[in-house]
Structure 1
Amino acid sequence: MDRLTEMEAFATVVDQGGFTDAARKMGISKSAVSKHVSALEARLGARLLNRTTRRVSPTDIGLAYYDRARRVLNDAGEADNLVASMQSAPSGILRIAVPTDFGAAHVSPLLGEFLERYPDVSVNMVLKNRYVELISEGFDLAIRMGDMDDSSLRARKICETTQRLIASPAYLAEHGRPARIDDLNDHRLLYYSHNAATSVWRITAPSGEVRQVRSATWFSVNDGQSLLNAAINGLGIAYLPSFLFARAMKNGLVQDVIPDLPRDVQAMHAVYPSGRYTQPKVRALIDYLVEKFSNRNVSGW
């Protein structure tokens, strides 16, 4: 007989308190339940149930076996549900957190086709310029730029962008063009930051060394478009991803401040909670974004 069926018969007898109710629960005959339990006891060489004319109860050995058997049966049920879930069509509300500028410029234009492709999915996209706590804040997925340091999350790269030092021609004409990273200390710097006191840039030098630039902040704001506007208006030098400044640079509103510096490449990742499996709606959106961004230049230059 099948070992899992024997376990199920025994555990159901314990759950239901007798063979008659167990048979009704399993949808088989009482004699079939009895045969499964007897075969299990014979295979194990131990009596698992105390049988009387009035009641059935597990022996001490039977109670210990029941605890482990019930866990095995629950895991088997979860495995069946997992396969069914992974094969099911994506559906339900998909709540995602995306950086404001990247979401507006590159994610929003793609969602219409995604929703047409998966009509049973609805998307709630929240534009936030901070790292959200996915589980506690109820998000299924977030898009983040840079290295992934949180080992509790799973991540998949969807595209890359680059970061450059940019400033307006008017600013550079008035204050001069820095020739090297150290010269930035003598300039007005525009920071993206929630806390101006801890503003810092990490810039790759021609030697490959990653240098940290930290100085008094002339202007600080937690919005990329506002930083770009400040740079265009001649307030100082900003360090921004190219998907933000590409059009302004093409139109001559800003320039690459130190062209000889290597391009700092930043990956954009889709991150989601780790677990035994990925929900179909989450997997569908990640696959879709990877597909679309493989043919899309988010750097813009």
Structure 2
Amino acid sequence: MDRLTEMEAFATVVDQGGFTDAAKKMGISKSAVSKHVSSLEARLGARLLNRTTRRVSPTEIGLAYYDCARRVLTSAGEADALVTSMQGAPSGALRISVTKDFGVNHLSPVLGRFLAEYPAVTVSMDLTNRHVELVSEGFDVAVRMGAPADGSLLTQELTRTTRRMVASPSYFQRHGRPQKIDDLSDHRLLHYSDQIGGHAWRLIAPSGEVRQVRTGGALSVNDGQSLLNAAISGLGIAYLPGFLYAKALQDGMVEDVIPALPMDEVGIFATYPPGRFTQPKVRAFVDFLTEAFAEKGPGFH
């Protein structure tokens, strides 16, 4: 016989105070309840119930076993309920963290479609460029440029973009145009103030060598659009993702600083905490973002 069914029959007899009421509770015959309990006692080699013509009560061993059995049955019920809920319609509060540039320019415009498709979900979006601890800070999903360093997180690449240095024609007129990476030390650079690793740019030399360029700058700000605006106005050179600079480049408001340099391509990822089950609201949101950005490519805008 099924061990869990035996435990359930025994625990129900104790709860109901007899076989007749236990049978009604379980929706089976009294004889079936009795067989389940007898099988359990035989398997354990112990008498769990004191049976008289008037009442049924657990023995000392039976009472101890009842406490353990009830915990097991409660856990089994919770496990069943968890799986049922995981397969249900997405609902509840979804807390997401996203970088400011991507959140303002590309995630915010598509959120309306997600909320219309899943009306039982509410979204709280935190715009920040800093690294967040998903579990300890209570975030369900984070959207970041570059794969996360924490390999324990689940990751889905949404799209890819490029990064390159841009500056305005007026800047080049006043300060000249750098010809190689080493020339940047003589120029006015515009930096993200909250960039991980400080004021360092990851540039690829024509040889394919990756260079980490660390230089001071004329301006530091924690917003990419502000850096682009500063570059357009001629304040200096900005190193930005394609989804920010693409239109300004197309319109001639900025130019590629060193065209000979290969562009750095980077992935944009959705990350979320690991677990045996992914909540429906999280799965729905990640799937939505994957579809929404599936046709975007490097330098998208």
TM over 0.5: yes
Q: Structure 2: how far apart are the matches of 1:209 and 1:197?
A: 19
| TM-aligned CA distance change 1:257 to 1:70, over 3 Å | farther
TM-score of the superposed pair, with normalisation by structure 2: 0.86
Q: Counterpart of 2:277?
A: 277
Q: For residue 51 of structure 1, what is the amino acid of its counterpart?
A: N
Q: For residue 61 of structure 2, what is the amino acid of its counterpart?
A: T
Q: Structure 2: how far apart are the matches of 1:118 and 1:227?
A: 35
1:56 corresponds, among 55, 58, 61, to 58
| SS of equivalent residue, structure 1 residue 77 | helix
Contact residue 130 and residue 196 of structure 2 kept, 8 A: no
Q: Deviations over 1:65-97 (max 9, x none)?
A: 974x56654554344224322321112222222
- CA-CA distance at 1:10 after TM superposition: 3.5
Query: What CA RMSD, in Å, does the superposition of the two structures yield over aligned residues?
Result: 2.9
Q: Structure 1: how far apart are the matches of 2:269 and 2:208?
A: 24
| SS of equivalent residue, structure 1 residue 6 | helix
Q: Structure 1: how far apart are the matches of 2:269 and 2:229?
A: 26
Contact residue 192 and residue 220 of structure 1 kept, 8 A: yes
Contact residue 192 and residue 222 of structure 1 kept, 8 A: yes
Q: Deviations over 1:120-163 (max 9, x none)?
A: 22222232232333333332212111121123421111111111
Q: For residue 205 of structure 1, what is the amino acid of its counterpart?
A: A
- CA-CA distance at 1:29 after TM superposition: 5.6
Q: Structure 2: how far apart are the matches of 1:190 and 1:250?
A: 21
| TM-aligned CA distance change 1:102 to 1:80, over 3 Å | same
Q: For residue 50 of structure 2, what is the amino acid of its counterpart?
A: R
Matches within 5 A, 1:219-234: 219-234=219-234
Q: Structure 1: how far apart are the matches of 2:196 and 2:136?
A: 27
Contact residue 129 and residue 194 of structure 2 kept, 8 A: no
- CA-CA distance at 1:225 after TM superposition: 0.9
Contact residue 160 and residue 296 of structure 2 kept, 8 A: no
Contact residue 101 and residue 225 of structure 1 kept, 8 A: yes
Q: Structure 1: how far apart are the matches of 2:216 and 2:105?
A: 31
Residue range with higher mean Cα deviation, 3-12 or 266-275: 3-12
| TM-aligned CA distance change 1:198 to 1:130, over 3 Å | closer
| TM-aligned CA distance change 1:9 to 1:101, over 3 Å | same
Matches within 5 A, 1:14-29: 16=15, 19=18, 26=26, 28=28
Contact residue 19 and residue 30 of structure 1 kept, 8 A: no
Q: Counterpart of 1:211?
A: 211
Q: For residue 251 of structure 1, what is the amino acid of its counterpart?
A: D
Q: Counterpart of 1:9?
A: 9
| TM-aligned CA distance change 1:212 to 1:71, over 3 Å | farther
Contact residue 159 and residue 293 of structure 1 kept, 8 A: yes
| SS of equivalent residue, structure 1 residue 160 | strand
Contact residue 188 and residue 235 of structure 1 kept, 8 A: yes
- CA-CA distance at 1:249 after TM superposition: 0.8
1:153 matched to 2:165? The reply is no
Contact residue 171 and residue 236 of structure 1 kept, 8 A: yes
Gaps of 5+ in 2: none
Matches within 5 A, 1:1-301: 1-12=1-12, 16=15, 19=18, 26=26, 28=28, 31-42=31-42, 44-47=43-46, 49=48, 51=50, 55-57=57-59, 59=61, 63=64, 67=68, 73-74=73-74, 76-194=76-194, 198-297=198-297, 299-300=299-300
| SS of equivalent residue, structure 1 residue 103 | helix
Q: Report the count of equivalent residues.
A: 297
Give percent identity, aligned residues only: 60
| SS of equivalent residue, structure 2 residue 225 | helix
TM-score of the superposed pair, with normalisation by structure 1: 0.86
Q: Structure 1: how far apart are the matches of 2:189 and 2:142?
A: 29
| TM-aligned CA distance change 1:129 to 1:48, over 3 Å | farther
Q: Structure 2: how far apart are the matches of 1:45 and 1:122?
A: 51
| TM-aligned CA distance change 1:259 to 1:38, over 3 Å | same
| TM-aligned CA distance change 1:285 to 1:110, over 3 Å | same
